[in-house]
Chains A and B, each alone.
Chain A
């Protein structure tokens, strides 16, 4: 991949690395004993997880009456969290699949961790549809299996069932794609390890040797899986939006939902990637691989998708007014200035206004600003789903059934629990697996390493001859 790269491109690997240094740097976090910071983070995350499990068991034992759901608010924090988590997952697939198709080299620094994030986020998301049905012990009724009740089949015309297929397919494909990429890197860890560790990584590495034909197949399957995952990721949030858009609730029954949800999903997902990457690169000392250039690129996507989301919000408002349909108009007036006005304000300011500071290159490249902004966007996107769901449901057609929904401690606890699941999984992942794709970073070294590309490239003039020989280590 030493194709010509524009000299104005920033290098994506800094610190004058060679191949061996890359291996050493990226394998190091999983080879040393965990740091105190890791242990503390793990204990905190695991405690949240434990509390979440407690709240889930509480829900199952006493029923979903322990959530503050009632007529007319049938969906509260549960589906809000579901949509939020599934949206977060989307950035991982965007980075791993869509940016692969577009040949964006900066994806190599962040794709591994982003895909891991996708998988953990989908696990958190999938929890909510399962527990919100109330009787989780008959949740297998979701699946169209031959049964003794007729057989009575599920309703294949229902968006809720499409959602089941979309999310299970999405989870499976993401997992396979991620693992295919992990196999060569597990082999690297295997060949550096001894004893029990070697056995462990030998199992995980599936007997990878690095043969030329295997690499050829590896690239072939990566490309085709990327091609499959690209329409898949767009379909998943489209189908999630169908859960709302195909209903007849004013404020939900709109054709703008699919593109608006997809843009919002990528927006929130990139925010979560930034949250994780800023911490990961610092704690694991991977600043040379997840560079400011990577952060800058992701902030550009946050700015773009945040603005798309902003246009969608304004379009919704305009169309509600322009339709002349009073129920639609009321639904939106209620969002802006109804009892949940603070949620709408939070959504607008976090999602639409605050990302505008990323027009400034200086802000895009500031790690602290990026981190704070990523938290803002995560909060804003959570509010967006809250605005769409309980705000709308709390003001039904009959004013006599209007209500003000507040969650119970159980609902909040389950949400905290999913944060626990997410971070526990991520921390374990960061211990066991290389958080940066080793082989892929090596493959772009000759075109994007700082000794080959960018302002400080030493041998840019000799590059065409390709004769640079590495000194031995």
Chain B
């Protein structure tokens, strides 16, 4: 991803309850956490880290609205302007018959739009390789990482913090 290398100091924890406690302590000590990695979504972590709520659902609403308008206006245009045909003695602009397709395209646009947005903002996609600090983070380890590139004097105090907060392993990795 990034061209210049970063030095990452990170600690691995064995359980999410220890991790949550450690994150809390780090916030109390105003330490600048770079990132937290977990093998599954840990509840209660977002407020501790101060992460704002995801706005993906708002994006989803916009995509859905685009889908609904696309379907409805297109069918309206086809049957009232481009090639009006009478089906079963109904009016050209037979709105109830447009509802199923309008609904389907709303769902389709919202889903595809959200999924594309989700991978784009996550920086993910087919074949993308992001640096992995430790192979066990997707297994059973919970990780807090600090960016220490440029300020090596921070390493020791952060190390002692990780140690005191219950990290089972502490390492530095250049990514």
Q: Which residues of A does B touch, CB under 8 Å?
A: 1-2, 18-20, 23, 144, 150-153, 155-159, 161-162, 165-166, 168-169, 172-173, 176-177, 180, 183-184, 187-188, 190-192, 202-203, 206-221, 223-225, 228-229, 231-232, 235, 239, 242, 439-440, 442-443, 446, 466-470, 472-473
Within 8 A of A (CB), among B5-58: 14-18, 35-43, 45-46, 49, 51, 53-54, 56-57
Which residues of B are in contact with A by a Cβ distance under 8 Å?
Answer: 14-18, 35-43, 45-46, 49, 51, 53-54, 56-57, 60, 64, 74-75, 78-79, 82-83, 85, 87-88, 90, 94, 97-98, 100-101, 103-105, 107-108, 110-112, 114-115, 118-119, 121-132, 135-140, 168
Q: Please, how many angstroms separate the alpha-carbon atoms of A172 and B114 in the complex?
A: 13
Residues of B within 8 A of A184 (CB): 40, 138
Residues of B contacting A2 with CB < 8 Å? 43
**Cβ A221 vs Cβ B88 within 8 A:** no
Q: Are B107 and A20 in contact (CB under 8 A)?
A: no
CA distance A106 to B85 in the complex (A): 51
Instruction: Decide if A206 touches B37 in the complex (CB within 8 Å).
Output: no
B44 to chain A, nearest CB (A): 9
Would B124 and A20 count as touching, CB distance under 8 A?
A: no
Determine the chain B residues whose CB is within 8 A of the CB of A188 once the complex forms: 39, 138-139
Which residue from A19, A202, A442 sits with its C-beta under 8 Å from B129?
Answer: A202
Contact between B39 and A157, CB atoms less than 8 A apart? no
Asked if residues A191 and B139 are in contact (CB atoms below 8 Å), the reply is yes
A336: min CB distance to chain B, Å: 32
Cα A213 to Cα B121 in complex, Å, equals 10
Q: List chain B residues, Cβ under 8 A from A217.
A: 54, 56, 118, 121-122
Give the residue name and chain of the B residue nearest to A166 (CB). B104
The majority secondary structure among interface residues of chain A is helix
> In the complex the two chains form, what is the Cα distance from A414 to B48 in whole Å?
57
- Select B125's contact among A19, A180, A207, A472, beta carbons within 8 Å: A207
Q: How far is the CA of A440 from the CA of B17 in the complex (A)?
A: 17
Besides A191-B139, A216-B54, A229-B107, 10 new A-B residue pairs in contact (Cβ under 8 A), listed by A number: A151-B82, A162-B100, A210-B138, A212-B42, A214-B122, A215-B42, A219-B41, A220-B56, A221-B118, A224-B114
Closest B residue to A220 by CB, please name it. B54
Inter-chain CA distance A2–B36, complex, in Å, is 20
CB-nearest residue of chain B to A441? B40
Query: Does B115 lie within 8 Å of A180, measured CB to CB?
Result: yes
- The answer for the CA separation of A217 and B115 in the assembled complex, in Å, is 10
A207-B124, A235-B103 known; A156 and B98 CB under 8 Å?
A: yes
Beta-carbon contact of B79 and A165 below 8 Å: no
Contact B51 A216 (CB under 8 A): yes
Q: Which residue of A lies closest to B38 (CB)?
A: A210
State how many angstroms separate the Cβ of A331 from the closest Cβ of chain B: 23
Contact assessment for A235 and B136 in the assembled complex, using a CB-CB cutoff below 8 Å: no
Which of the listed residues B54, B85, B131, B137 has the most CB atoms from chain A within 10 Å of its own CB? B54
**11 pairs across A/B with beta carbons < 8 Å?**
A19-B139, A151-B82, A157-B90, A157-B94, A166-B100, A169-B108, A176-B112, A207-B130, A215-B42, A220-B57, A469-B15
Chain B residue with Cβ nearest A238 = B100
Chain A residues with CB below 8 A from B39, complex form: 19, 23, 188, 210, 439, 442
Contact flag A211-B97 (CB < 8 Å), given A1-B43, A191-B139, A217-B122: no
Residues from chain B with Cβ under 8 Å of A177 in the complex: 111
Cβ of A172 and Cβ of B108 under 8 Å apart? Answer: yes
A19 to chain B, nearest CB (A): 4
Known contacts A209-B130, A220-B56; A443 and B40 CB within 8 A of each other = yes
Contacts of B49 in A (CB 8 A): 212
Q: In the bound complex, how far is the Cα of B38 from the Cα of A215, in angstroms?
A: 8
Asked if A165 meets B125 with Cβ closer than 8 Å, knowing A176-B115, A212-B46, A224-B60, the reply is no
> Of the candidates A173, A206, A224, which one forms a contact with B124 in the assembled complex, judged by CB atoms under 8 Å apart?
A206
**Residues of chain A with a CB closer than 8 A to B168's CB:** 472
Which residues of chain A are near B130, meaning CB under 8 Å? 207-209
The distance from the CB of B92 to the nearest CB of chain A, in whole angstroms, is 10
Q: Take A206-B124, A208-B124, A470-B14 as given contacts and tell me if A439 and B40 are in contact as well, using a CB distance cutoff of 8 Å.
A: yes
Q: In the complex, are the beta carbons of B101 and A156 less than 8 A apart?
A: yes
Instruction: Indicate whether A209 sits within 8 Å of B137 (C-beta atoms), given known contacts A157-B90, A469-B15.
Output: yes
Cross-chain contact B132 with A19 (CB below 8 angstroms): no
**In the complex where A191-B139, A216-B54, A469-B14 touch, is A209 in contact with B132 (Cβ < 8 A)?**
yes
Is B135 a contact of A191 with CB atoms below 8 Å?
Answer: yes
The answer, among A202, A208, A221, A439, for a CB contact under 8 Å with B56, is A221
A469 near B18 (CB under 8 angstroms)?
A: yes
Q: Which residues of A sit under 8 angstroms from B104, Cβ to Cβ?
A: 162, 165-166, 169, 232, 235
Q: Which residues of A contact B90 (CB under 8 A)?
A: 157
Is there contact, CB below 8 Å, between A157 and B97? yes
Please name all residues of chain A whose beta carbon is closer than 8 Å to the beta carbon of B98 when the two chains form the complex. 156
Chain A residues with Cβ under 8 A from B124's Cβ? 183, 206-208, 214
Give Cα distance in the complex from A461 to B174, angstroms.
44
Given contacts A19-B140, A217-B54, contact A206 B111 (CB under 8 A): no
- Residues in A with CB closer than 8 Å to B37 are 209-212
A209–B1 CA distance with the chains assembled, in angstroms: 13
In the complex, what residues of A have CB within 8 A of residue B15's CB?
468-470
Nearest CB on A from B21, distance (A): 9
Across-interface contacts of B74 in A (CB, < 8 A): 144
**Bound Cα distance from A364 to B149, whole angstroms:** 60
Query: Which of B39, B54, B115 has the most C-beta atoms of chain A within 10 angstroms of its own C-beta?
Result: B39
Name the one of B94, B107, B135 contacting A169, with C-beta atoms under 8 angstroms.
B107
Is the CB–CB distance between B78 and A212 below 8 Å? no
Q: Whole-angstrom distance between the alpha carbons of A151 and B85 in the complex?
A: 13
Q: Which residues of the partner chain A approach B88 to less than 8 Å between Cβ atoms?
A: 157
A172–B67 Cα distance when bound, in Å, is: 15
